[in-house]
Chain A
């Protein structure tokens, strides 16, 4: 997807301010390939929804351009953009039946009644709500309303569909089920999807690429696996998944790796985003990459630790230890057969490789 030369959607130097004082979106440049499922992920107030609204046409960029299929969108009103949109609270028209809701985009496009009816039926069947056409939205459950909203955004066959936290109002089980459904519909229809969410697991499950937003800037744009395994800065490392954070100073740099002084402990880590010898850095380390009781010489980082707390979670055990002066250090011990028995208060050894420990910038979140 990244190799496609011609992007379908392009944000070019886009800036947005509401009050003329604070930039909500700071110089955004983003290319989205045709057929891609791109998720804008970030905490609330990070500018992701504003970007979506600018793309939909409900907000105008203060500066810069948005292009769709090579055409500039800035002056095109929302109803002429031909972009499907699924809203957070579905925005199903309460005074129309489900079928009327779906027929609405076709009617305003002056499609003949027979064609419209056929398309409405196909769209309803696609979301497995074929029997519900005559009902009012209020008579449907949350999940069913969500599906109707999805069908309505797709029924006029737009090439681009925007989704603004569409699963936010659903309970956990239903949300996971809908994630797969949306993913499958995307795979079947092949339209481009821009999806906004603050839920990282949702983003990881569904997306081709994820753009992590914070403070009006894309912090990192990458495939889900890269984002999780190779975060490029401390914010992304902290925001995606669980993360152990150790703050120290870079002591020396040797090629790809460096040695970081954390509270007197020397930790070997991978160079990613620190500013050279003497600068402060945040070490990021995933809890599942820490091994208990490594044999001597197996890993470069090997320290004494004290078990402070154990939480049994079924498939794994969360183990909070004190190591390198940090009391919030988490180790995930898989609940595999024959794993080591540990008790609170035990002294243990923990270790990890230099590749799993990334030396990033300093971010005070």
Chain B
């Protein structure tokens, strides 16, 4: 088609249609087809991945329970200056809302929410709901004080007021062992309740250890895989992938059989007199167990990216380095290793991300000292039902991984990453 340019410099086809418009029209059908092809996957990912993540992220900052259950009380509390006790109007509103039968469900949720803030709130709410119903006449301030003396303390009301917002940072504060004191200031949790920071530290420490162990063990294997003749390397590849095709649970259980006090390894140690029968080495249900089992299970995720990068490095580079006067060690360190950096990066980031969220293996072989943060998330999801906190803990992990990813992209470049 002939192309003409008008005065403004816009290119047009011979029919006078702007060239860009003509191009868009020509490719529209293909674009629609392509979109329809990916649409099922897009919907699937949206429903099973993106939406749940967004939902959990919302939960980690939202706290509508208190304001939903006690809207009128909150309205009164907001006017209160926070010292001494709230006005009688607040007590009256509280009495009315607690007496309302239709409100029972919401009161339960609010009590649970406040209980995470300070234990004892659930029983306080239950007791007060039961008793305040019978009080028909004010002043409610005295009536509440009679039911429980905590209602006569400004701290109790402050906690309710502080939890009244629709959005809160309290879950995130809890996730890093902080809380708001009754006056609303951020403060560290009492020592006995600080567990999450320690667990985050342990998780990062274990993940880092697993990554390093995987790298050290996987590097020579990958090198062999990439350099051995095809027949031998295929066999080796099968050995690497074989565990990959076995159930995660089976592999983890196998480690229990091997490592436990009366397990295969300890029996061998005793048999060969390395340790005596009374001092069998404790290798499982602790951090060691988590480390060993996770390293084994995550190994292929390190081997495959390393292998795929090493496969592309021509042996000529090493020869060139040798011919230029470098001894084998120098040639390896200066010429071969730098070229495997994308593989090291891809493998390490993959193993680290998988390890940081690892859950089944530490749950089975970790014992008390080998538990990781994901085990706590599971606990809050299934047992304590504090989903807000679970979401906040997960959110922190997600942020950590995104930061890592960003760092990797800055340093190595994500386009250089290669998997399998």
A-side residues, CB < 8 A to B, are 56-58, 77-85, 87-89, 91, 93-95, 104-105, 108-109, 152-153, 156, 162
Question: Which chain A residues border B338 with CB–CB below 8 Å?
Answer: 95
Residue among B319, B326, B339, B341 making CB contact with A108, cutoff 8 Å? B326
Query: A94 to B321, alpha carbons, bound, how many Å?
Result: 12
Can you list 28 pairs linking A and B with CB atoms under 8 Å apart? A56-B323, A58-B322, A77-B328, A78-B319, A79-B323, A79-B324, A79-B326, A81-B323, A83-B323, A84-B324, A85-B319, A87-B316, A87-B319, A91-B314, A91-B317, A93-B320, A93-B321, A93-B335, A93-B339, A95-B339, A104-B334, A105-B325, A108-B327, A108-B330, A153-B323, A153-B324, A156-B324, A156-B325
Taking a contact as CB atoms under 8 Å apart, the answer to whether B330 and A94 are in contact is: no
Question: Which chain B residues border A104 with CB–CB below 8 Å?
Answer: 321, 324, 326, 334
Tell me, rounded to whole Å, the shortest Cβ–Cβ distance linking A229 to chain B.
Answer: 36
Query: A109 to B325, alpha carbons, bound, how many Å?
Result: 7
Taking a contact as CB atoms under 8 Å apart, the answer to whether B323 and A84 are in contact is: yes
Question: Which chain B residues border A83 with CB–CB below 8 Å?
Answer: 323
Query: A77 to B321, alpha carbons, bound, how many Å?
Result: 12
Taking a contact as CB atoms under 8 Å apart, the answer to whether A108 and B325 are in contact is: yes
Question: Which chain B residues border A87 with CB–CB below 8 Å?
Answer: 316, 319-320
**What 0/1 readout, one digit per residue, does chain B (302-331) give for beta carbons within 8 Å of chain A?**
000000000000101101111111111011
Question: How many contacts between A and B, using CB within 8 angstroms?
Answer: 70
B-side residues, CB < 8 A to A, are 314, 316-317, 319-328, 330-331, 334-335, 338-339, 341
Tell me, rounded to whole Å, the shortest Cβ–Cβ distance linking A18 to chain B.
Answer: 12
Query: A95 to B316, alpha carbons, bound, how many Å?
Result: 15
Query: A80 to B323, alpha carbons, bound, how many Å?
Result: 8
Taking a contact as CB atoms under 8 Å apart, the answer to whether A89 and B334 are in contact is: no
Q: A79-B322, A79-B323 are in contact. List 15 more A-B contacts (CB 8 A).
A: A84-B323, A85-B323, A87-B316, A87-B320, A89-B314, A91-B314, A91-B316, A91-B320, A93-B335, A95-B341, A104-B321, A104-B324, A105-B324, A153-B323, A162-B323
Query: A152 to B321, alpha carbons, bound, how many Å?
Result: 11
Query: A103 to B334, alpha carbons, bound, how many Å?
Result: 12
Question: Which chain B residues border A57 with CB–CB below 8 Å?
Answer: 322-323
Query: A82 to B325, alpha carbons, bound, how many Å?
Result: 7
**7 tightest Cβ-Cβ pairs between the two chains A and B:** A91-B320, A105-B324, A85-B323, A78-B322, A91-B316, A95-B338, A108-B326
Tell me, rounded to whole Å, the shortest Cβ–Cβ distance linking B383 to chain A.
Answer: 51
With A104-B334, A108-B330 already in contact, the answer to whether A93 and B317 are too (CB < 8 A) is yes
Question: Which chain B residues border A94 with CB–CB below 8 Å?
Answer: 339
Question: Which chain B residues border A91 with CB–CB below 8 Å?
Answer: 314, 316-317, 319-320
Tell me, rounded to whole Å, the shortest Cβ–Cβ distance linking A266 to chain B.
Answer: 55
Question: Which chain A residues border B324 with CB–CB below 8 Å?
Answer: 79, 84-85, 104-105, 108, 152-153, 156
